[in-house]
Amino acid sequence: MVVTDKHHRLILQRIASRVMIERGLLPEFSKEALSELDAIHSPAIADSAQVRDLRSLLWCSIDNDDSKDLDQLTTAAKMPDGSTKILVAVADVDAVVRNGSALDAHAKHNTTSVYTDARIFPMLPEKLSTNLTSLNYQEDRMAIIIDMVISSDGMLGGSDVYRAVVRNKAKLAYNSVAAWLEDTGSLPKDIGAVQGLDETLKLQDLAAQKMKAFRHEHGALNLETIQTRALFDGDEIRDLEEHKRNRAKDIIEDFMVAANGVTARYLALRKFPSLRRVVRTPKRWERIVEVADVLGYALPRQPDSKALEQFLVKEKADDPVRFPDLSLTIIKLMGAGEYVAEFPGETVPGHFGLAVKDYSHSTAPNRRYPDLITHRLLKAALSGDTVPYQDDELEGLARHCTDEEDAAAKVERQVGKSAAALLLESRIGEKFDAIVTGAAAKGTWVRIFHPPVEGKLLQGFRGIDVGDKIRVQLVHTDVDRGFIDFKKIRARRRHGREGSYR
């Protein structure tokens, strides 16, 4: 079949598969992995008397409208002292995908599911990730439970980790739940169908809001970037859709942040190593200070997450339209996250952006390999077994997961740029307002505002830095390579809170 310019989906699928290979990732499962998969016919069942039966609780999943790989469920209960018990159930993927198997080898190689506009490359086959190891509606599933008590001021109190069988009572979607919580929509029918679930969700929402406020008071950063995905009309891209934060997403985010801290501390208290998620102190703090200074805010000369959060809160209130661009600037200047192995008696850096010291990914084992590693460590600690990884092996896995996560992000970004190039290829010569998102020896990058697309600045990049606002002209697109190129143009200076375009 001849691929025409209207077959955007097929073009992007071809590009995605090619870029996966170029980045060293596996787009397809091996024959050995598929043979193992054929032999798996049912989900895991309880394999120990210590596995609790929590199927009667009001568990629900909240995820994207089209998500099928359900990693976690949540529920809540009010305690007599006014605190709230929050339970997070995370799919026990290790109960099906054993360490050293061919399926595990594929997951270990890629380390993450790769989500592109045209095709998803799952870390585990969909027979598992969307079925037998997914916490699906009205299905009994094995899970790791993170049990937390949240005080009335949002602070984490007691916590525990254990294994249980759970059952999802309602498969919910972010947007409809958020509309109900924010009084802009009606009660979703899937909530109304389960007696008491509405009150449980309101309790979760209230606890999450208090947890968020507590975290931000202690320096967790309030960042909000623009996330987009291609909208198709048949096989043709018509627009880019922005994903926006809402109250339902906040519930999951705040519960998962807390749960990831609990699992890290649980392992540390039992003298077990762990795979920590780290965001180090920003190396370009001086540029963050300069960005704040341009906006009339004085940050301290030494990195300070509390002071940075106060600046971000002020800017979000003063200029919500431009806040995603400021967030992107700060994220670029902070630097990328990484995985680091922590061993008993050692202390690794914490997560600057979340203002936490102890943080270990553990809540998405169908999608991320570090979470599967954490579950194997947790299960060994729970059962009194020896550590399932040698020290040098865990260190190697930390480096590998960091590298492959970066490779996967580049695949997603390149396919996203190819989708944007398809959308913009008929607009060569048009002029746009833009913000500088990257400035280094390898190139200078800008993001235009409408549509929110990032590209390379080929001309006029001298003397500008991350956070500067400029006027650009689209000069070239290359769909196959995901290139979108601009040049800087002169513009009449405009003053005010939006900054000057130069």
pLDDT for the residue 492: 52
Confidence at residue 497, expressed as pLDDT on a 0 to 100 scale: 44
| Confidence check: pLDDT of 482 > 70 | yes
Domains of the chain, with CATH numbers? 8-280+339-418 (no CATH), 425-502 (2.40.50.140)
Quote the pLDDT of residue 33: 98
Q: Parallel, antiparallel, or unpaired for β 156-167 and 52-53? A: parallel
Sheet holding 52-53, edge to edge: 52-53, 156-167, 140-150, 84-91, 72-78
- Residue ranges of alpha helices (H) inside 218-322 are 247-269, 285-294, 305-318
Structure confidence at residue 501 (pLDDT): 41
Average pLDDT for 435-445: 85
Give the tens place of pLDDT for each residue, 287-331. 999 999 989 999 999 988 889 989 998 998 888 877 887 888 888
User: Of all residues in the chain, what percent carry a pLDDT higher than 70?
Assistant: 96
At 11 the pLDDT is 95
Q: What is the pLDDT of residue 336?
A: 83
Confidence category of residue 219, pLDDT binned at 50, 70, 90: confident
The pLDDT, as a whole number, for residue 205 is 97
Q: In which band, very low, low, confident or very high, does the pLDDT at 257 lie, cut at 50, 70 and 90?
A: very high
Q: What is the spatial distance between Cα 220 and Cα 243, in angstroms, rounded to a whole number?
A: 21
Mean pLDDT of the chain: 91
Asked if 397 contacts 388 with a C-beta cutoff of 8 angstroms, the reply is no
Higher pLDDT: 410 or 216? It is 410
Q: Alpha carbon 72 to chain centroid distance?
A: 14
Q: How confident is the model at residue 127, as a pLDDT?
A: 98
pLDDT of residue 468: 87
Residue type, 370: P
pLDDT at 491: 62
Top-confidence residue, 348 or 361: 361
What residues contact 257, with CB distance under 8 A and at least 6 apart?
211, 215, 354, 356, 359
For the chain, give the number of residues.
502
CB distance 208 to 76 below 8 Å: no
Tell me which DSSP letter residue 255 carries.
Answer: H
Mean pLDDT is lowest, of 66-80, 160-174, 240-254, for 240-254
User: CB–CB of 138/60 below 8 Å?
Assistant: no
How many Å apart are CA 472 and CA 459, to the nearest integer? 9
**pLDDT tens-digit map of 76-134:** 999 999 999 999 999 999 999 999 999 999 999 999 999 999 999 999 999 999 999 99
Q: Model confidence at 494, in pLDDT bands (50, 70, 90)? A: very low
Q: Are 74 and 86 in contact (CB under 8 A)?
A: yes
What pLDDT is recorded for position 495? 45
Among 429, 497, 434, residue whose Cα is nearest residue 464: 434
Give the Cα separation of 98 and 130 in Å (integer): 18
* C-beta atoms surrounding 297 within 10 Å: 17
Neighbours of 118 (CB within 10 A): 21
Residue among 212, 437, 216, 215 at smallest CA distance from 313 = 216
* pLDDT at 107 (0 to 100): 98
pTM of this prediction? Answer: 0.87
The residue assigned the tokens 């190139």 is 443
Rounded to whole angstroms, the Cα distance separating 128 from 366 reads 8
By CB atoms closer than 10 A (0-12, 13-18, 19+), residue 400 is: middle
How many CA atoms lie within 13 Å of 241's alpha carbon, on the beta-carbon side? 9
pLDDT at res. 496: 45
Contact indicator for 118, 9 with CB cutoff of 8 Å: yes
Supply the DSSP string of 189-220, one letter for each residue: HHHHTSTTHHHHHHHHHHHHHHHHHHHHHTT-
